[in-house]
Structure 1
């Protein structure tokens, strides 16, 4: 499996839940199967909770996935993409000097809650390439990749 690093621990094995690529191997199947079991157990635990009760930050898909990756569950091997080339959403709040020192190919638009907020942030930073009519904004694409 190929993952992005998590900004909180950019040099560690802490991974973002949004992995990039995986090979269809038995270890990958075992990891995803175990992750599913863990999530179903959590779902069963919280199914009758009132809507205002939050789930602990220590209980979620990313925490579970990190645990499985760290323990090389089922013989799974993970590759971490270089943080400077594949940063997570903390890139948006990093200092300008940090952002300039990184040379990202892809920025994982996380660390913000909600689809609308993600879209708004992508537009604000010029990382949105869809016009209101649904067509690709070719000019914006050219601008962002310096063509």
Structure 2
């Protein structure tokens, strides 16, 4: 499969027809993949910027609306965002409020619309589907940034991403974990992905393992493949003070102000409602009770965490 990029022009579904799966995944239509490819190509050709890509189900709709409200303060972020959602209805709602954003629906069935506990089979299946979509983008030789919407962007990371593009010899760049006591250091998002031969090899292997095994997680596979430099892949990392994670929420206010991260991921916390409550308690929930964007709240938070400390 890795020889001569022979799989590049095949359907993403056909690429994995020989793999065993105890829980068959819904098909990803060629029409959807065509729209995704065209959307990403348009962003690259128009701006020369990396498309920002995320994959959500309906349970993440409020977190996604909050993220959109957050990044609307930054120039040209919404215009290069591609949201793949499992609900066509949510895509229509999103487009009515945020016309600049590309939202593509990928309907998978009602069983994929809930809020799943980490480790549930539906959750694992969504990781598999996301991996297949990412592999498709790499096969089409498109660079992109994978991100998740349960995050706060305290500064526009465009310059950070562009600087890494120019100076790094990396195939992919990911954050460093805040808690490394178990020996794991590679976090998963945001992930800068460059469509090199080594990256293609990594995503083919990641997707193969995810589909073949019932209870395997993409982050664990990434950790192993990056540490072992699988087929020569080079994985670089952002510093923790550039891309922070859930450890940031455990810091005191004074400690937080010592750092100036571009992005804070709201991880190490299970459950959508819990994530929303955590952001709200910390003044990082920007939606009204009617789920409308309150830009003033965003500006207040950005000013707080970007002020120069005397």
- Provide the TM-score with structure 1 as the length reference: 0.77
Gaps of 5+ in 1: 47-58
Which of 242, 245, 250 does residue 93 from structure 1 map onto? 250
1:133 CA drift (Å): 2.9
Change (3 A) 1:97 1:77: same
Change (3 A) 1:25 1:135: farther
1:5–1:13 contact (8 Å) kept in structure 2:
no
Q: Give the alignment's Cα RMSD to 1 decimal.
A: 2.3
1:13–1:80 contact (8 Å) kept in structure 2:
no
Give distance in 2, aligned partners of 1:20 and 1:133.
32
- Provide the TM-score with structure 2 as the length reference: 0.39
Of the two structures, which has the highest relative contact order with CA contacts closer than 8 Å and spacing of 6 or more?
1
Which structure: greater strand fraction? 2
Q: Does 1:113 align with 2:270?
A: yes
Give distance in 2, aligned partners of 1:29 and 1:128.
37
Gaps of 5+ in 2: 1-171, 305-310
SS of 1:107's equivalent in the other structure is strand
Count of aligned positions: 132
Give distance in 2, aligned partners of 1:2 and 1:81.
7
Q: Does 1:134 align with 2:305?
A: no
Runs of 4+ in 1 over 4 A off after TM superposition: none
1:73-114 deviation line (CA, Å, top 9, x unaligned):
132222211111211111111345542322211101110012
Equivalent position of 1:73 in the other structure: 230
Equivalent position of 1:42 in the other structure: 213
